[in-house]
Each structure stands twice: as C-alpha cells, then as structure tokens.
A and B are shown apart, each in its own frame.
Chain A
C-alpha cells in the first residue's frame, strides 16, 4: 500500500499545486516541498525498517496488486526490491533538491511548473515500481510529457528545439519498446495460452529462434537511448543545456537511471541468452561511450553541455557493468547510478547557480571566481573530484567495482575503459580551472552560496562522502536483488533453466509473512 501512497501523493500533490497556483504564487513550491519531504521520510522509514529486520535475504520487499483490465491480463501491480527501493529513495531525495533549486529560479506559472515536476517524479517512481509491462509502459510515457513541457516552457534560449529533440528521441524509442512488449505478450500467449502482462509470469518465456533477439532489441533501444549510449546520445546535451536547473537535475539524476533500471529489470532477466550474445557489442558501446563522452566534454565551452557529456561518459560505465553479468559489476552499477546522480546533479545545480549570477553558461566568460565564492569553489572541486573518481567519494567505489567486475568478463575492454579515468581528469580539471581559477574575468560583485544553497550542497556533499567511505548500507540493500539478477543472467542452456518460483511468481507470500 505504501507504494500506491507514494505515487498517489505525487499525482495528487501535482494537481493541488496546479489549482492553488491559480490563486497563490508562493504556495505551490511549499506544497511540492512538503509532499516530497513526506514521501522521502516514508521511504527512509520503510528502508530502515527493512534494513534492520531479521529477514535480510528477501528479494522482494513489498508489493501491491489490483486487477485492472482482466480481459487483457493487465494488472495494477507494483512491487519493489532493493534496486527499486534505492532508486525510489534517490527519486524523492533529488525531488526535494529540485524544488529547492527552483525556489527563486522559476518566476512564471509556478502552479503548472510544480505540477509538471511532481508528475515527472510520479512517472519515474512508477517506472521503478511497475511489475506489469503495460503499466510500466504507461509510466514510461507519463514521465516524458511533463518533461517536454518543463524544457519547452521554462528552458533557456533554444528550448523549443531541445524539447522537440528530446521528445522525438524518447518517443520513437519508446514506440519500439511498446512493440517489443506486445511481441513478448503474444509470444508468451502462443507458448502457454495465457495472455498476461505480468512481469513475473513473462520471466522465463521460451522463444523460437531469433525472436528473443528482436524483442530484446526493442527493449534495448528504448533503454539505451535514455541511458544514453553513443551514438544515441545527441538529444542529451541539448536537453540538458536548455532545461531549467531542476530539469537538468532530474534528467541527469533520474531519467537516465530509468534506462539502466530497464536494462536490469527487463533486458537481462527476460532475455538472458540474447543478452549474453549481445554482451561484447554492448560492452564495446560502453567503452566507446566512456572515451567519446570524455573527449567531447573536454572540448565544450558551454558549462552545461560539458557536464552533459560527462554523463555520457559515466553512463558508459553503467552499460559496461551491466553486460559483465557478475555481482561485483552489478553492485558497481548500482553505486554508479546513485553516485552519478549526486555528483552530476551537484554540477548541474552549480551551473544553474552560476547562470543566475553571471547570466551565462559560457566557460570563456568565467574565470577566477574562487576569490569571491570560495564556498562554491570548494564544492565544485569536490564534485569535480567525484566525477573523476577520486577514492573516498562514491563514484570511485562505483567505477572501481564496475571495472573490477568487467575485468573478469573482458580484460581488454576493461583496460580501454580505464582510459576514461585518465580523460576524466582532463575535463574535470579544465572545468574547475576555467570557472574558478586563473585571472578574474568580471569585475562585478558576485555573492557566494546563500543558506538555501548551502543546505542543498551540504546534503549532496554528505551523501557523496558517505557513499565513498561507508557504502555498505547501499550494497547490503541491493545485495539480494543483485544476487538474484546474477542468478537470472547466468548463462545456461535454454530449456534447462529453472526458476525459483517462490521468489519469482509470488512476492505476495513474502509480503504476507511480515
């Protein structure tokens, strides 16, 4: 029930903000903040309750199931495991920050703005919970349209182009996924006579030759466009750089993660053999992404574009790790999803703060800002270090685990991927140098962090350091889910695969046990 509640408050809160926005300018942001704080606390309480409970090995933590359209086998079925739980917590955490960073930035149509913001988050939360493929697709589309408005209405100069580009890329790839979902639906019905969109029943569907590859490609394209991997990344720099700060934060921190989540949740468990066949190519794409993104980031002069390309580079690690099919790499990917959301989110937030002050994103027009804003300078260096994978911060744990796991799967790919660690130094340090160091470019007075900004940044700094120094809670939470995934992705002969039906088909029993 907690799951429905989480989505419900977001949808309801969005509508409330929209209506209140007619009368009050300031109330919608308070509504959004309280809704998200409430949701965040709910999740943390739930997490803590689970974390300290005796039953540590349960894969599925809780679920909600309601028949929706029985004639087509569609259920309103939500369930979460450790993977979903962590991503949900991240969603609400970044949600709070996205409200805080919009506090003064958004000056028009606040009601509609916070409506969109909350509905994006509702869509994202739904994606992380839906265990019915139809419902999953529904949420997948639901997060797209408010995002389109967010970029198109509150973005900067070139916003309409960016919004179109974002929409077309994700919509076209989403369509392929819809086709694949339908294909899977009918294939399963063909073999078993049961028409169902239920994820747990679709697991272990048998395929005739070649079908699995095509269906997997449909899912895969939707997810890798979102992730993104080279060469499907070109929507991302435009969307990131034109979106308002909160938009960039959600894009980098959450929307990209839905791609990785999709690969984890659907591509690997549903099509393990086909995924294994694709693995060398996918890993290669990851390596290319790592290096290409880093090189592109180095040459950018627009701060937000630079950070956007670093995302391309970091997401290369994600795909490299996912297709390594072992627990070390999976755990690394999990860490990378969270650490990247925090570190890149922080960089986008700072880009937004700089834009508020300097009215530009152009690195050539910045320089020597340390003197006037040492606090931001310190924070920027810290997150630049996170982004280049300095040990002691979360990203290092993530990248080290991914590379360690990938090394087992493919030595040479991993060796090339480590080049990314060198290139990341080049772009990160260049960014810090151009903004904060060197001679001063402007004479006007620029103020350092305000208290609201200190609050945002302090929470991010604490999070990223915690992830780097004591990541075990995250690892332990994701542990059962990751072990389960490793089991599902194990390369076995088709036909001999046996699923532990207790885990897979009926999370309800576990929920009842509690």
Chain B
C-alpha cells in the first residue's frame, strides 16, 4: 500500500456517490439497501478518515499538510481556481467530527426514519449535506470552499423542509436558506476583494501574503475580515443573522443533530479559524467577533430559558454554545474554539438524538410541559440525556464540556484580548446554560407523567446514544488545564496551523480561582432552576402574575424580538413593493403610447365623416385661416 493519503478524495466521494445512487434509483431500492447506502457511505468515509488521520499523526507530512489537486476548475488568464483538497490538522479535526458524528447520526436515522415514506430522499439529502460540509473543510481554494458553503445551505433547505406538506416547514426552510444567503453574499464580495488584493483565492497563498498587504493597506484587511465575518455569522447563526436556526427545528430530529453538531453551524467557526491570519491583522474585527459571540451567548441563553419546545431549547443552546466558540475566536484562543467545537459536536448530537428518542416515544410531542416523569420509563434515554446535559452545563471535572468551556472562560479574562466585561458575560452565559438545561431535564424527566409512551427506542437509536454519551464524558481528557494534568494533545496537534493564545502579561490571579468561580456559577444555575421548577413551582406561577415579568418572558420566548424587527424592516416593505407593482409600471408606459395612438386615430377618423357639409365647412375654415395669415404677414 503506497500512501493512504492519496485516497483523500474518496472521503467526500463516498457521500456524493451515496447521494447520486439514492437520488437516481433510491425509490426503487428496498429499505435495507437505502439504509445501507445512506449510512454505509458515511461510515466508509469515517473509517477512511480514521486511517488517514492515523497516518497523519504517526507520519506527519513535512510541510504540515497534504494537498491533492483533482482538476483545474476555471482558467482565465490570472484567475485559475482548482478543484483540490487540502488536509492539515485543522481540517482533519473537522473531517473527523463530520464523518464520525455524521455516521452515528446516519445510523440513528436508519431506525428513526424507518416508517417515513420518503426514506431514500432523506438519506440522499443527508449524504449530500455531509458531502458539502466535507468539501467545505477540505477545500484549499476559497471558491471551492464557497461551493461547499452554499451546498450546505441547499441541504439545510431540503432537510428543514423535508416534510413538505406543511407550509410552515417550507417557510422555515426558505428562511434558513435566505438568511444564510445574505451572509454568503457578503462573503462573496469578500472573495472579490481578496482576489483583487492578493491576486488569488488559494488559501495558503492568501494567508502568507496577509502581512505584506497589511503593511500597504491595513484597512483593506479589516474590510475583508468584516465581509468574511458576515458569511460566518450567517452560517453559524450568530447575531444579527441568528433567527433562522430556531425555526430550522421544523426538520426531522436527526437533521437538527446534523446541522447543529457536525455540519452547517460550525462552518462559520471553521472559516474564521481557517482565515485566522486575516483576523489577527485586524484587531478591530477580532474584538467584534468576541463581542458578537458574547452577546449571542447571552441573548440566546435567555431565549432558551423561555422556550416550551424541547428542540427549540436545544436550538437556542446551540446558538449560545457557538457564541462561546466565536468568543474564543475573538479572544485569539483558536485552539480553545476548536476544542469546544469538538466537544460540543459530541454532546449536542447526543442531546438532539436523545430528544428525538423522547419525541418519538411520545407520539411526536414537542412540548416540554406535556412531558414529565420519563426518568424510569425511558431510563437509557434519561441517562444519556443526563450525560449530555452535564457536558452542556460543564459539570466540573466529570464532563468533557467542563474542560472545553473552562478554557474559554479562563481566556476571556486572561488572554491578551480578554477583559472583565467579556468574562462577566461568559460567566452569566454559563449560569443561564446551567439554568435552562436543568429546567429542560426537570420538565422532561421528573414530575408527573403527562403523556403515554408508545414504545422504547430500538437498538438503532440506542447504540449511537451510548457511543456519544461515552465521548461526551471522556473526550475532554485530551486537553487538561494548566494547573492540573496540563495535557495539551489537541492544541499541540493544531499548533502547526493555529497560533497559541497570547496571555495577558501582568496577570495577578490564579487559574484555580476562576475554575472554582465557574463551578459555583454552574451549580448556582442548577440550584436556581431546581428551586423554581422542582422545589417551589408555585414561585413561578406567582412571577407570571406580574405584567413586567410576563412581558420579559414573552420577549425571551420570541428570541428577543429579532423576527419582528426584520419583518417590519425588510420583509413587509419588499413584499409590499412587489405586490403593488405586480402588473409592472413600465408596461403602463407602453400601454399609454398605444392608448394615445388610439385616441389620435379616433379623433382624426372623426373628421372623415362622409358628410359633405363637414367637408365644405372644413374647406372654408381652412381658406379663412390661410387668408388671415397672408394678410397678417
């Protein structure tokens, strides 16, 4: 076997082949074959990724990356993007998560979607989704990256609107596509600027030229960074383009898991990490990234606290956790962001899949207030959900989420770009996370049962849950804090691509102090939620009496009013304008010309009446006028 790296192209090709097979002949294949093609293609990619990853770690390429050019895409004088793949440690982490978590979600779907009439369409779209995302992270040219980037948008549209009979799902799907397209378009303009500044869209070349361009024109780097950020904000559902993600819950639950854990929303994180040099040279934009992250994590944490749909709670929680990743990116804690991305992929996939199992068992009931008492009836789901929640709230020491999130909290204070305000916001976010997660757990699994369960989940559903639960507990140990363990496997692995985080020079505090504070915040959030939702539920109904609290609740429930704002600002005016001009005002102009010639013709033809008296009269008047003119002149 020569070099397994040369098989890199197969990683995205398996899912593409799966998509093509299922799209062309999927309808005629039996269920088992569809499942085998759909889940099998991703599993093959995952296995190949493990093999390539193993070789990459055991025998790292000298240059730190492995590139494979497939063919020349376009070639016009100096513009020649290629279809070529690029594997370095950053893309390897992403490929691993995408294929591995993706494969688990596919396996889960084999059972979950078994009774759906569009079984093959589902797997076809899922495979295309994974393919697009793999292309996105493996592309070494920004144009190819953009192909994957937009492909992800298409697949989200297809899958969110999967159950197309209901117009609400269609609306959510179009919303997702449109809002992310707004970010994409800004990003496309960013590509134009990059091309004219750097003369290429080839990523390594762009990054190597950034210092030179920065020296001659620093503001252009900021402009590029802002435009790329706009793209990232759209795909990763950050302020102000976050509104599509909660509605995206209209799709089947495995789709939500795929969007939130392995694909789509992490694309923005990847883009920013991949193009980190540009952001390093634009401190303003980098600060903006941190601020966007901080505000997003707070606002969506608040919104999550007020939701009644189990999937919407998780959706807002995703926005909030991606907010942490953006905060880390803004702080220059690049590896911390990737670490949190990885851990988040495990526990968020787990939470969604477990929530799917709950929903499935309760006859498609999404409402938290109609659940309850499932602790004993669905014990496996309960335990895995509990592990996922522990990781989400960053339960100290025992959960993977603790190690990844703690790093970000620490850097919010200690990194060079960090400051107390950002730190405070991230701590507040951690408190909210603990509170809404506890609320979610209590409402779902404790209390009185309110709905009958149909059947416990089968093995297709439970095996992925167990694997993901295992990872949500133990995957954090690859990276331990400085003050205990001090293990830096992941960041060492990533450092050839991503620079280490610069710490503030004059720090007078110890890391353990912040860890204890973070732990207290988490426990505080859990305690408060426990008080309100378990111990003294009467407090809550008392609070709901007051109008002030109620309007705050409504504000949070609506996702902080962004939908309404955009509706009045953009949607209505555009719909209004196009509606009143439905018949095309320009056409009226031409109709006017027609009408005018018609009138002229009528008035002239009126004179040709055939009556002799009129003609004599005309002759007379004409001669009088002529004579008058002659006399006057």
Contacts and interface: CB of A to CB of B under 8 A. Distances in A.
Contact of A385 (B71, B154, B188, B589): B154
Interface in B139-190: 143, 146-147, 149-151, 154, 157-158, 161, 164-167, 170, 173-174, 177-178, 181-182, 185, 188-189
B586 A391 contact: no
A485 B150 CA distance: 33
Interface stretch (B445-453, B505-513, B572-580): B572-580
Interface stretch (B73-81, B267-275, B297-305): B73-81
A231 B589 contact: yes
Interface string B380-418: 000000000000000000000000000000000000000
B178 A429 contact: yes
Contacts of A231: 586, 589
Interface stretch (A69-77, A145-153, A186-194, A414-422): A414-422
B628 interface: no
Nearest to A298: B578
B189 A415 contact: yes
Interface string B107-149: 0000000000000010000000000000000000001001101
Contacts of A299: 578-579, 581-582
A239 to B, nearest CB: 12
Interface size, A (range): 35 or more
Nearest to A165: B590
B147 A392 contact: yes
Interface in A386-438: 390-392, 396-397, 400-401, 403-404, 407-408, 414-415, 418-419, 421-422, 425-426, 429-430, 433, 436-438
Nearest to A470: B71
Nearest to B83: A469
A390 B578 contact: no
B281 interface: no
Contact of A418 (B83, B173, B188, B582): B188
A429 B577 CA distance: 19
B108 to A, nearest CB: 25
Contact of B584 (A234, A404, A419, A429): A234
A360 interface: no
Nearest to B175: A429
A296 B581 contact: yes
Contacts of B150: 390-392, 396
B23 interface: yes
B151 A391 contact: yes
A425 B167 contact: no
Interface string B434-477: 00000000000000000000000000000000000000000000
A84 interface: no
Interface string A293-325: 001101111000000000000000000000000
A240 to B, nearest CB: 13
10 contacts: A234-B589, A296-B582, A299-B578, A328-B76, A328-B79, A391-B146, A392-B151, A396-B150, A425-B174, A438-B164
B588 to A, nearest CB: 9
Contacts of A440: 165
Contacts of B79: 328, 401, 404
Q: Determine the interface band of chain B, counting residues with CB < 8 A from chain A.
A: 35 or more
A interface, by DSSP: helix, strand, loop or mixed? helix
Given A237-B584, A429-B174, A370 B143 contact: no
B584 A296 contact: yes
B196 interface: yes
A422 B175 CA distance: 12
Contact of B178 (A400, A425, A475): A425
A479 B579 CA distance: 43
Contacts of B195: 404
A75 B174 CA distance: 56
A397 B74 contact: yes
Given A437-B170, A472-B72, A404 B589 contact: no
Interface string A433-469: 1001111100000000000000000000000000001
B151 A400 contact: no
Contacts of B170: 433, 437-438
A439 B582 contact: no
A220 B586 CA distance: 20
A422 B147 contact: no
Given A400-B143, A418-B185, A433-B170, A234 B582 contact: no
The 6 nearest A-B residue pairs measured at CB: A391-B147, A437-B164, A299-B578, A234-B587, A407-B192, A299-B582
Nearest to B120: A374
A421 B188 contact: yes
Interface string B75-111: 1110100010000000000000000000000000000
A415 B193 CA distance: 11
A299 B578 CA distance: 5
Contacts of A433: 167, 170, 174
B192 A404 contact: yes
Contacts of A471: 73-74
B313 to A, nearest CB: 28
B27 interface: yes
Nearest to B23: A378
Contact of A472 (B74, B173, B188): B74
A385 B147 CA distance: 13
A426 B586 CA distance: 22
A233 interface: yes
A230 to B, nearest CB: 7
A368 interface: yes
B181 A401 contact: no
A233 B586 contact: yes
A237 B33 CA distance: 47
B537 to A, nearest CB: 40
B113 to A, nearest CB: 17
Contacts of A407: 189, 192, 196
Given A295-B574, A472-B75, A475-B76, 10 more contacts: A231-B586, A368-B165, A390-B151, A392-B151, A396-B147, A400-B188, A404-B79, A407-B192, A471-B73, A479-B76
A429 B164 CA distance: 13
A301 B583 CA distance: 11
A60 B74 CA distance: 23
Contacts of A331: 76
A441 to B, nearest CB: 12
Contacts of A391: 143, 146-147, 149-151
Contacts of A436: 164
Contacts of A392: 147, 150-151
B345 to A, nearest CB: 25
A199 to B, nearest CB: 26
Contacts of B178: 422, 425-426, 429
Contacts of B143: 391, 400
A299 B579 CA distance: 6
A327 interface: yes
A230 B75 contact: no
B157 A429 contact: yes
Nearest to B586: A231
Contacts of B577: 295
Interface string A226-256: 0000110110010000000000000000000
Contacts of A374: 27, 121
Contacts of B73: 469-472
Given A299-B582, A331-B76, A438-B164, A422 B182 contact: yes
A426 B174 CA distance: 8
A396 B589 CA distance: 34
A323 B139 CA distance: 32
Contacts of B83: 469
Interface string A482-502: 000000000000000000000
Contacts of B578: 295-296, 298-299
Interface string A342-354: 0000000000000
Contact of A437 (B147, B161, B584): B161
B118 to A, nearest CB: 9
Contacts of B74: 397, 401, 471-472, 475
